[in-house]
Amino acid sequence: MKQGNDTQISEFLLLGFSEEPELQLFLFGLFLFMYLVTVFGNLLIILATITDSHLHTPMYFFLSNLSLCDICLSSTAVPKMLVNIQMQSKAITYEGCLTQMYFFLLFTGLEDFLLAVMAYDRFVAICHPLHYMVIMSPRISVLLVLGTWTMSVLNSLLQGSAVLRLSFCTHVEIPHFFCELNQMIHLACSDTFLNDVVMYFAAGVLGGGPLAGILFSYSKIVSSIHKISSAHGKYKAFSTCVSHLSIVSLFYCTSIGEYLTSTILHNANSSASASVMYTVVTPLLNPFIYSLRNKDIKGALKKFLGLKI
């Protein structure tokens, strides 16, 4: 079959979660509420870390970048879904679908790398506290964030370019609430071998690499904490990692769950539901996890909002 970007279609149809009319208003209200809370909560984290000089440290610099990533990640999928529900339409243009897919890959990859960088930051803080300010200097911190952006952009460009070569014929229904890469590849009527190779290679390198880094960092952290003699010292050291561990667990458990449901169970509806967890729910919970368990963030938020500390 002829390959190349000779698609004859102008739009795709995002099937979403349900076609039941009585559920549309409920879904619209639910996702609008979750999206607004996500944007507002993460924006507060960003503003608090910027305005409070006590939070001008590598840990909170990475956290503010994670909050920005969470806002952008939710914004790639949720607003379009809300517009389609409100307009009673399922359509998204071909160009809009490719754009949505590109930015979704960009920000999921960015979140993946940022979590690994934050784990490395905790590793240095606990295992090499005397050299922390030298190893995690402002210059190094900025370079680490720039590196995560560079890797994420390159991954999105690579996978987006691979999709551009595909041809799409008549079957344009995507059983998802956004243009998810795997679903788009399955809709193509041209050979997708190269796309599958690129997708699984990227998943292995970009997914497995940061996860291996996180596991290595925490293995060293646990070993270092185990050597601390006092129980109070162990608790204080481990408490700095709890929030990050919670976010890592949420992100990886839900993303791995989405992968398993789409590849093993071959259930598109389950895949869409699992995607909600790391696309909508995880960015929603991240600011609460950090603000509720972190005295510095709570103090900065109270100061920013003009509340009594």
Q: What is the pLDDT of residues 71-105, one digit of tens each?
A: 999 999 999 999 998 888 888 998 999 999 999 99
- Span of 165-169, 202-206, 299-303 with lowest mean pLDDT: 299-303
Q: Which pLDDT tens digit goes with each residue over 227-266?
A: 877 777 777 777 778 878 888 888 887 776 666 655 555 5
Q: What is the pLDDT of residue 1?
A: 40
Q: What does the DSSP 8-state code read for residue 122?
A: H
Q: Are 60 and 162 in contact (CB under 8 A)?
A: no
Q: Is the pLDDT of residue 42 over 90?
A: yes
Q: 5 lies in a domain?
A: no
Of 47 and 6, the structure prediction assigns the larger pLDDT to 47
Q: What is the pLDDT of residue 235?
A: 77
The predicted model gives 68-73 an average pLDDT of 95
Q: 216 lies in a domain?
A: yes
Q: Are 184 and 159 in contact (CB under 8 A)?
A: no
Q: What is the pLDDT of residue 271?
A: 65
Q: How many CB atoms lie within 10 A of CB 85?
A: 21
CA-CA distance, 290 to 26, in Å (whole number)? 29
Percent of the chain with pLDDT over 70: 89
The domain total for the chain is 1
Q: 121 lies in a domain?
A: yes
Q: Is the pLDDT of residue 211 over 70?
A: yes
- Which residues neighbour 123 within 8 Å (Cβ) at sequence distance 6 or greater? 217, 218, 220, 221
Q: What is the pLDDT of residue 267?
A: 56
Q: Is the pLDDT of residue 47 over 60?
A: yes
Q: 300 lies in a domain?
A: yes
- Span of 75-84, 121-130, 153-162, 247-256 with lowest mean pLDDT: 247-256
In three-state secondary structure terms, 253 is: helix
Q: Are 69 and 111 in contact (CB under 8 A)?
A: yes
The mean predicted confidence, pLDDT, of the chain is: 84
Q: 268 lies in a domain?
A: yes
CA-CA distance, 81 to 179, in Å (whole number)? 11
Q: What is the pLDDT of residue 298?
A: 76
Range of the domain at 120: 11-305
CATH number of domain containing 31: 1.20.1070.10
Of 252 and 220, the structure prediction assigns the larger pLDDT to 220
Q: What is the pLDDT of residue 7?
A: 46
Q: What is the pLDDT of residue 4?
A: 46
